[in-house]
Amino acid sequence: MTEIENRMVEYMRPLFGEFASSALEQQKAKLGFSERPGAAEYLRLVEEIRAMCAQIAGTPVAEKVYAGLVKIVKEAA
C-alpha cells in the first residue's frame, strides 16, 4: 500500500473499522488500478468510496468522507 493509500485507510477507519483496508483494496481491484496510479485514478477511487459510504451510512456522511479523501489526494498530488 502506498503512503497516500495508508492515509486514506486511516481516514476511512472511523466509519469502516477494521474493514477500511479491505474496502479500499476492493475498490482498487474493481477499478483495475495501475501499478503507479496518478491523482486522476485516486480521484476515481474516491468517487467509488463515496458511493460505498452512501450505501453504508447515507449521503451526509458520504460527502464528509469524500471531502476528506479528496483533500488527501490533492495534498499528495
Partner 1 sequence: MTLEHPPEHTVPVPRIRSYVANLDEQMEGGFPEGSVVLVCGRPGSMKSSLAYYMMYMQALNEGRRGVYLTLEQGRTSFARHLAHIGLDPDASDKVAIVDLSALRKSFGDTGPKGDTNWLNAILSQAASYKQLFGCELVTLDSMSALYSLHSFENPRRELFHFFEGLRTLGTTVFLISEMYDPSKEIFARYEVEDFLADGVVHLKVDRNNGESNLYLGIVKMRETRHSRNYFPLIVEPNGFEVVAH
Task: Tell me which of 4, 8, 15, 46 binds partner 1, using CB under 8 A.
Answer: 15
Cα–Cα distance, 40 to 15 (Å, whole number) = 24
Binning the chain into helix, strand and coil, the percentages to the nearest 5 are 85, 0, 15
**Coil, strand, or helix at residue 36?**
coil
Task: Tell me which of 9, 26, 37, 72 binds partner 1, using CB under 8 A.
Answer: 26
Give yes or no for a contact between 21 and 9, defined as CB atoms under 8 angstroms apart: yes
Task: Tell me which of 57, 70, 72, 76 binds partner 1, using CB under 8 A.
Answer: 57
Q: Does 21 bind partner 1 (CB under 8 A)?
A: yes
Number of residues that bind partner 1 (CB under 8 A): 18
Residues at the site binding partner 1, with contacts judged by CB under 8 A: 13-19, 21-23, 26, 52, 55-58, 60-61
